Structure 1
Amino acid sequence: MSTETAAETAGSPGGPRTLAEDLRRRSDDELGALLRARPDLVTPVPVDFTQLATRATTRASVSRALERLDRFALQVVDAAVVLPDGFRFADLAALVGPEVPQLPGAVAELRTRALLWGPEDALRVVRTVRDLAGAAPAGLGPALASALSATGPARLQELLSALGLPPTPDAVTAIAEIGALFADADAVRALLAEAPQAAEVLEKLVWGPPTGSVRGADRPVRADEASSPVEWLLARALLVPAGPQTVVLPREVALTLRGGRVHRQLEPEPPGPAVTPRDPELVDAAAAGAAFIAVRRIEDLLEAWSAGGPPVLRAGGLGMRDLKRAAVTLDVPEPEAALWLELAYAAGLAAGDGEADERWLPTPAYDTWRARPTAERWSVLAGVWLETTRVPGLVGTRDDKDRPVNALGPGVDRTAAPDVRHALLGRLAGLAPGSTVPAADLLADLAWHRPVRTARLRSELADRTLVEAELLGVTGRGALSAAGRALLGGDLPRAAVLLEPLLPTPLDHVLLQADLTAVAPGPLVVELAQELHMAADVESTGGATVYRFSEPSIRRALDSGRTAADLHRLFATHSRTPVPQPLTYLVDDVARRHGRLRVGAASAYLRCDDEALLGELLADRRAHGLRMRRLAPTVVAAEAAPDAVLSMLRQLGYAPMAESATGDVVVTRPDALRTPPRSLPPRVAGEPPAPGGTLVAAAVTAIRAGDRTTAGRGRGAGDAEAPAELPRTSAAETLLALQSAQAERRPVWIGYVTREGRATQRIIVPLGLEGGFVTAQEQAVGELHTYPLHRITGVAPVEPGDDEA
């Protein structure tokens, strides 16, 4: 058990003696504020106040609490750990600085978080906070009593003599006498005024670090033998040996030299950022354009992977060569390509297919996502980006073991990433709409609000967050968009509604040109875009998309089950320009040759009604690698696999089709290459989420109920006295009694039959009723349980004295 829960005198009559007692005296609202400020304390719900206090003083929990403090609150913590337990608020104010209006609020915040406890005339710092502060809080050395604790009695008497103090009979009294002298700031200043050239020596140590290197530091030096400023200080305990070649400046001396203050410069308020106003409409328009491009980048990437994605590395992730290919496909820099890859993966739109030769492919969720309106698709991507722990900016760097960090790999997670995104965008959300702030100012503001956490992050993470927000359309021209504000508030549907009017209207037509290209002057409706992706290849993107028709692309459409008539109808229906004759000829020519050759499994066979065509193929030297031989006038066997034969023949300019073992044509659908259904990638556990109001209220009730039971047993009252008979009530009466107890948060007796058929009696505090179950706090063990209502035989009230002595 923590020392905070041991019986310690608080220094004030009637004040709490322990942290557990201090928590017990708090109101429900104050306890709720503690649990909201420190979510880790409520998982799981503590049994009683003793367990709550013990958990609140663990090293891990206190470290999390300190990470959530701003810079000024941490400066107050530094001042508090300098003082001995039982200090007054006035003592703390003297160390922090006079007339600092933010000090009462900071102290209240520390007390809310149970890092500081006790009344204002006897405040205490949680012991773990002192441990984490280390030996030199705020650059201050140890107290004089601690620094002199290893000094011998003879040396102490010499120090007393040098300081003009009378000799003492023992070392303890000697240290106390020297400490009393050094506690008087005027006496220390007077002593330093006599020091020869000591200012230069002490100036190097006064603001930390408090230690310095001196040869022969532990050599006893008498006041009348001192030959240097350092020796003069050592002879009077103004410097104290901390080792053979190390000296330390006692805390009392440093505070006197600092003018009685712990910090050279206080930072009670965050630095003021340089705000530049912009037109909110222009900001929203720029963000909408980026949002539209972001959705299209993801779609273009996964459409390319639909025909066969890159392999999954043995260690997981995507190879650097494949990352470069993705960047070329999207016509973007590699860091941006890594963003779209990671976003598609985090949103569950791409995953490994799980086969022996595993490859990255779109998931079935991609088809559902692609069918939704553009604004909704964006809100899904932006919502995932805001909360994911994956950091695309780490791709291409090296990890702690000097290994490259690959996209989609296991080394891209950082638990602090969501907190950084929320913090940076939250600062922009606090400004007027359209306002922008330089990245350096945002980083400085983040460093003030979360100094401990920011120290663990590289500035590149914050910088990259702002770049990603701009690429994704959460911000526009450096300012938070209206849709971004809704996104930050967790309202994804509203974010989509705000974005929808700003997006370009999807078109249902293209402009066909004589050079076998089609120009889409804007975004296309989903159905037309899918058909064009099947029949043509994207040549360029930008304000308009250019599609290139070719023999392989037309063959791809025919392989997917389209006919020449289907393609002619598509072009005639959706082209605002006349269909060019070269495109018509191309479709007819490929369709005429398509499927004349049929490839099946022998290892493979080719079937064709045109004997001359088969003779031509057998005579083609380029196809000798297939080792074909004629089995019949219209059938040729090959020693290669069917997919290899298909690939080779298409490279040679033929247009074969695959057929099944029953002779049916195998149609390749454009969405055939999909992974099995996949769940979202796991989010690396970081900070526990803030508990909701219902959970906080239930936890407070459970802690108080468990504490009453524990206290009753501790005073020797014994277990609560159960009713003489097992409670018996009808089902309606049972439900009504439990609902009443839940509303009033009061304990009741229940008769309960276990799964083994054993009848028991228990005291519970009902916290929730739903679906034929009651969720309640069981006082005997102080834990939350769920009880089926059909096993509860009845309910009886808890009489005064049953649950507490």
Structure 2
Amino acid sequence: MSSRTSPQPAAGAPRTLAEELRARSDDGLAALLRARPDLVHPVPADLTQLATRLSTRASVVRALERLDRFTLEVAEALAVAPDPVPAEDLLALLIGRDTKAADEPDTADRLPAALAELRGQALLWGPPEALRLVRTVREALGSGPTGLGPVYAEAGAGLPPSRLQEILADAGQPTTPDAVSALDSLHALWTETPDRADALLADAPEGVRGVLHRLMWGPPYGQTPPRPVRAADARTPVEWLQARGLLLPAGRDSVVLPREVALHLRGGRAHREVHPLPPEVHATRTHEPHLVDAAAAGQAFHAVRTVEELLELFSAEPAAALRAGGLGVRDLRRTAAALDLPEPQVAFWLELAYGAGLLATDGEADERWSPTPLFDAWLHRPAAERWTLLARTWLDATRVAALVGSRDSKDKVLGALGPGLDRALAPEVRRAVLGHLAALPPGSAPDAAELTERLRWERPLRGGELRDRLVAWTVAEAEQLGLTGRGALSAPARALLAGDDPSDLLALLLPEPLAEVILQPDLTAIAPGPLETPLAQTLAVAADIESKGGATVYRFTPESVRRALDAGRTAAELHAFLAEHSRTPVPQPLSYLIDDVARRHGRLRVGIASAYLRCDDDTLLDELLADRRAAQLRLRRLAPTVLAAQADPAAVLTQLRAMGYAPAAESPEGDVVIARPDARRTPPRTPPAPVPDGPPQVSDLHLAAAVRTIRAGDRASTVTHRTPNPTGSVPRTSAAETLATLQTAVLTGSPVWIGYVNADGAATQRVIEPVRVEGGFVTAFDQLHESVQTFSLHRITGVAEIDE
């Protein structure tokens, strides 16, 4: 296969990429624009402009990133092959010079599909006997992936003709009169006369084969100063190779193995190994589908409850937002301790709530993170619908919570809810991973390493290490969110992936929320299952969660009961609430506890002086004045029922509660201040939009309009007319001839070609379909702009009929 004698295309074959595009159907053009949507922004004026846009480096690199491994290997083989190359020579580059197609059927069978993919994306053009890779693709790929060096014509271009004649003589080739023919002779030695090349290598001394073996699969460069040595003077294997042209100078201190020599040594293969088939994803574990769905549903319910608890916590104690954006490390740790979860999991739930629009900053001067009004609406929806919102948010989000705690390119730590967490590749990887899980039989769980290998094959140039990490994170997060159970995809997740609403399927799997708890004499309440949201919220205020699991244990304490009273509940309301939601009679110790705390609650009032204490029982104030633990408050009696304190009200409240009292805060009007834990909400907020991964996909309607526009522009730029016009200028006809031709075109409905000078004096050429000629104007359909326009007759320089 010679680089000097290129195969000749058949008669009628396209001479340029634009000509091949012109021969495509409208559906073919639409498929190209759909595969490479960057070409539509803006819409090219004609096919020549489209071909130019196709060849830009940014567009080519984006298209190469979407190729699978085998299609990319085919493109890499085309990049090192002569241009053009017949399809049979390309197959030989993939399977080897002496290998038959029947010996590697997978490669031979998959090659037409790979060529069709490259042709469909306009990375390749030309007939099968003369395939041409788009020049920018050849430049983008180079020979690096194949490990091949430059051809003789490039590697030896800087050598003096005298040195080339010496190399030819030492290689046993006849000398030639010039450098070009000398390089052609060396090229022919290794590509057209393999027997003579083998004979040359057969006489090589010991060590030459070892040097060639190290260079043949790449990199083809060796670090040694080149020497213009003759065969008779060569003393080392490297000198023997330089004398015969198997190594040529590549710089002051390096030599290179020419491509022809490497291909001969490889047996004609461009790659050491090709991968025509994707790695299979096997089921390493198999479970009953109903067990998978049950496990996933349990985790889905836990996910909903965790987000609910997290946002209830932020309702009561909003976290400060950092100036640079995000959540501080201390607040993250505090939240993790309150929820009894690891910090990475808390970061995941925070990011999920933020992405779903349930959490945002309030926009105040002292900015804080709080639930949004959407959180209240979300709370009143069924659990299955709440989970669906979370799952859809995760599937489409570009923010990656697993990056929290890592460092960016500037060595800055990435924080939860902060900037720098967006990765446009994330949604694509998540859908790909779940898609492979969905392709397995229900109940089947694969190995994460096989999923990683499969995605590497599908997109070898896309993502790299980040893609591999995203696969592992996707597997873990899908299990954490309840999309998978025991490693296998659940039925609701399959529906979600298919674009359907999974709520109905999940609702059948979730346990029915309970409206009752079991109250015990030891001041605990046991919830044997998930509780209805209002019951769970009230119980979380009036009691402390002691343990979680299959059953949740709540414990009533004086502090928890006081917390309920501070939130506005009365003792009577607490008694009624517990009686209504308890399967058993309310235990006497719990009733006594509520009455005792309520009796003491609010007897002491703390208000603003610096701070003051007010109580109708002066003996209680006497007790406080005598208590050494209150010394730090520096209390002083102002009246029989009023004490003044030299501390702020919050400190006084904290210290008195630590001493075992149950004080209540008082407003300036003398009313008890009620602190409601659900009072903190942000103004309405819009969820963060995912970062787009390149240009947006184009709708079918937009594609059809784009194809019509490109076709119309191409007709206008390539149309020929009956009046010869060798200069390419606009047609020139008399006014009478122009008017007659246009009136005839109106009657016959045929398009015409006109020259037109606009108001700025610029001359253009148009293809129009006249509809009406009157009043000095022509109303016609302009094929270039795909619209009806009006043209002034006096600005039309000439008209010519279309030569069909």
Query: Could you say whether these structures have the same fold, taking a TM-score greater than 0.5 normalized by the shorter chain as the test?
Result: yes
2:210 alignment partner in structure 1: 200
Residues 718 and 461 (structure 1 numbering): CA distance in 2 closer, same or farther, change over 3 Å?
farther
Q: 1:74 aligns with which of 72, 75, 91?
A: 72
Q: Are the aligned partners of 1:518 and 1:548 in contact in 2 as well (CA < 8 Å)?
A: yes
Give the Cα separation in 2 of the matches to 1:709 and 1:592: 92
Query: Which stretch has the larger CA shift, 497-506 or 579-588?
Result: 579-588
1:577-619 CA distance string (max 9 Å, x none): 2211121122112222223344444555544444444454455
2:132 alignment partner in structure 1: 124
Q: How does 1:594-605 map to 2 (within 5 A)?
A: 594-602=601-609, 604-605=611-612
1:190-220 CA distance string (max 9 Å, x none): 3222322322221111111111122x32x20
2:199 alignment partner in structure 1: 190
Give the Cα separation in 2 of the matches to 1:74 and 1:244: 34
Q: How does 1:390-789 map to 2 (within 5 A)?
A: 390-457=399-466, 459-491=468-500, 493=501, 495-602=502-609, 604-617=611-624, 620-623=627-630, 625-626=632-633, 633-636=640-643, 640-711=647-718, 716-717=729-730, 778-779=785-786
Query: Which stretch has the larger CA shift, 70-79 or 15-24?
Result: 15-24
Q: How does 1:219-298 map to 2 (within 5 A)?
A: 219-276=227-284, 277-298=286-307
Instruction: Measure how far apart 1:74 and its partner are.
Output: 1.0
Give the Cα separation in 2 of the matches to 1:584 and 1:239: 96
Query: Which stretch has the larger CA shift, 222-231 or 291-300?
Result: 222-231
Give the Cα separation in 2 of the matches to 1:147 and 1:793: 61
Instruction: Measure how far apart 1:135 and its partner are.
Output: 4.4
Moved over 6 A (4+): 721-725, 746-751, 759-762, 800-805
1:143 alignment partner in structure 2: 151
Instruction: Measure how far apart 1:316 and its partner are.
Output: 2.7
2:314 alignment partner in structure 1: 305
Q: Are the aligned partners of 2:315 and 2:677 in contact in 1 as well (CA < 8 Å)?
A: yes
Query: Which stretch has the larger CA shift, 334-343 or 116-125?
Result: 334-343
Give the percent of matched residue pairs that are identical in Structure 1 and Structure 2: 59
Q: How does 1:330-369 map to 2 (within 5 A)?
A: 330-369=339-378
Q: Give the match's secondary structure for 2:444.
A: coil
Residues 716 and 375 (structure 1 numbering): CA distance in 2 closer, same or farther, change over 3 Å?
farther
Query: Which stretch has the larger CA shift, 684-693 or 195-204?
Result: 684-693
What RMSD, in angstroms, separates the aligned Cα atoms of the two structures? 3.4
Q: 2:111 aligns with which of 83, 103, 109?
A: 103
Give the Cα separation in 2 of the matches to 1:611 and 1:699: 87
1:176-199 CA distance string (max 9 Å, x none): 333233331523233222322322
Give the Cα separation in 2 of the matches to 1:417 and 1:804: 54
Instruction: Measure how far apart 1:153 and its partner are.
Output: 1.5
2:390 alignment partner in structure 1: 381
Q: 1:85 aligns with which of 83, 86, 100?
A: 83
Query: Which stretch has the larger CA shift, 104-113 or 535-544?
Result: 535-544
Instruction: Measure how far apart 1:541 and its partner are.
Output: 0.9
Residues 123 and 564 (structure 1 numbering): CA distance in 2 closer, same or farther, change over 3 Å?
same
Residues 515 and 10 (structure 1 numbering): CA distance in 2 closer, same or farther, change over 3 Å?
farther
- One-letter code aligned to 1:80: L
Give the Cα separation in 1 of the matches to 2:317 and 2:731: 71
Query: Which stretch has the larger CA shift, 513-522 or 275-284?
Result: 275-284
Q: Give the match's secondary structure for 2:525.
A: strand
Q: Are the aligned partners of 2:281 and 2:436 in contact in 1 as well (CA < 8 Å)?
A: no
Q: Give the match's secondary structure for 2:526.
A: strand
Q: Are the aligned partners of 2:779 and 2:790 in contact in 1 as well (CA < 8 Å)?
A: no
Instruction: Measure how far apart 1:464 and its partner are.
Output: 2.0
TM-score by length of 2: 0.85
Give the Cα separation in 2 of the matches to 1:500 and 1:189: 73
Instruction: Measure how far apart 1:630 and its partner are.
Output: 5.2
Residues 550 and 705 (structure 1 numbering): CA distance in 2 closer, same or farther, change over 3 Å?
farther
1:657-686 CA distance string (max 9 Å, x none): 344444444433331122222211232232
1:208-244 CA distance string (max 9 Å, x none): 1111122x32x20112222222222211111112123
Residues 668 and 249 (structure 1 numbering): CA distance in 2 closer, same or farther, change over 3 Å?
same
Give the Cα separation in 2 of the matches to 1:711 and 1:645: 89
Q: Are the aligned partners of 1:185 and 1:256 in contact in 2 as well (CA < 8 Å)?
A: no
Give the Cα separation in 1 of the matches to 2:742 and 2:16: 38
2:753 alignment partner in structure 1: none
Instruction: Measure how far apart 1:357 and its partner are.
Output: 3.5
Instruction: Measure how far apart 1:621 and its partner are.
Output: 4.9
1:11-45 CA distance string (max 9 Å, x none): 55433333233222211111122122223223333
Q: Are the aligned partners of 2:425 and 2:467 in contact in 1 as well (CA < 8 Å)?
A: no
Q: Are the aligned partners of 1:81 and 1:137 in contact in 2 as well (CA < 8 Å)?
A: no
1:159 alignment partner in structure 2: 167
Q: Give the match's secondary structure for 1:547.
A: strand
**Count of residue pairs the alignment pairs up:** 740
Whose Rg is larger?
2
Give the Cα separation in 1 of the matches to 2:673 and 2:790: 65
Q: How does 1:10-89 map to 2 (within 5 A)?
A: 11-89=9-87
Q: Are the aligned partners of 2:607 and 2:667 in contact in 1 as well (CA < 8 Å)?
A: yes
Give the Cα separation in 2 of the matches to 1:246 and 1:94: 31
Give the Cα separation in 2 of the matches to 1:153 and 1:305: 80
1:774 alignment partner in structure 2: none
- One-letter code aligned to 2:492: A
Instruction: Measure how far apart 1:306 and its partner are.
Output: 1.8
Give the Cα separation in 2 of the matches to 1:431 and 1:316: 42
- One-letter code aligned to 1:261: R
Q: Give the match's secondary structure for 1:436.
A: strand
1:552-591 CA distance string (max 9 Å, x none): 2222222222211111000000001221112112211222
Query: Which stretch has the larger CA shift, 586-595 or 517-526?
Result: 586-595
Give the Cα separation in 2 of the matches to 1:327 and 1:698: 53
Q: Are the aligned partners of 1:750 and 1:793 in contact in 2 as well (CA < 8 Å)?
A: no
Residues 317 and 230 (structure 1 numbering): CA distance in 2 closer, same or farther, change over 3 Å?
same
Give the Cα separation in 2 of the matches to 1:456 and 1:128: 26
Instruction: Measure how far apart 1:648 and its partner are.
Output: 4.1
Residues 43 and 429 (structure 1 numbering): CA distance in 2 closer, same or farther, change over 3 Å?
farther
Q: Are the aligned partners of 1:351 and 1:363 in contact in 2 as well (CA < 8 Å)?
A: yes
TM-score by length of 1: 0.85
Q: Are the aligned partners of 2:731 and 2:800 in contact in 1 as well (CA < 8 Å)?
A: no
Structure 2 residue runs without a partner (length 5+): 1-5, 102-107, 721-726, 733-737, 744-766, 792-798
Do structure 1's residue 112 and structure 2's residue 110 form an aligned pair?
no
Give the Cα separation in 2 of the matches to 1:21 and 1:581: 92
Structure 1 residue runs without a partner (length 5+): 1-7, 726-745, 752-758, 766-776, 781-786, 795-799
Give the Cα separation in 1 of the matches to 2:666 and 2:321: 30
Instruction: Measure how far apart 1:510 and its partner are.
Output: 0.3
Query: Which stretch has the larger CA shift, 70-79 or 670-679?
Result: 670-679
1:416-474 CA distance string (max 9 Å, x none): 11111111111111122222211111111111111112524263332121111111111
Q: Are the aligned partners of 2:360 and 2:685 in contact in 1 as well (CA < 8 Å)?
A: yes
Give the Cα separation in 2 of the matches to 1:304 and 1:538: 13
Residues 245 and 23 (structure 1 numbering): CA distance in 2 closer, same or farther, change over 3 Å?
same
Instruction: Measure how far apart 1:627 and its partner are.
Output: 5.4
Give the Cα separation in 2 of the matches to 1:621 and 1:119: 99
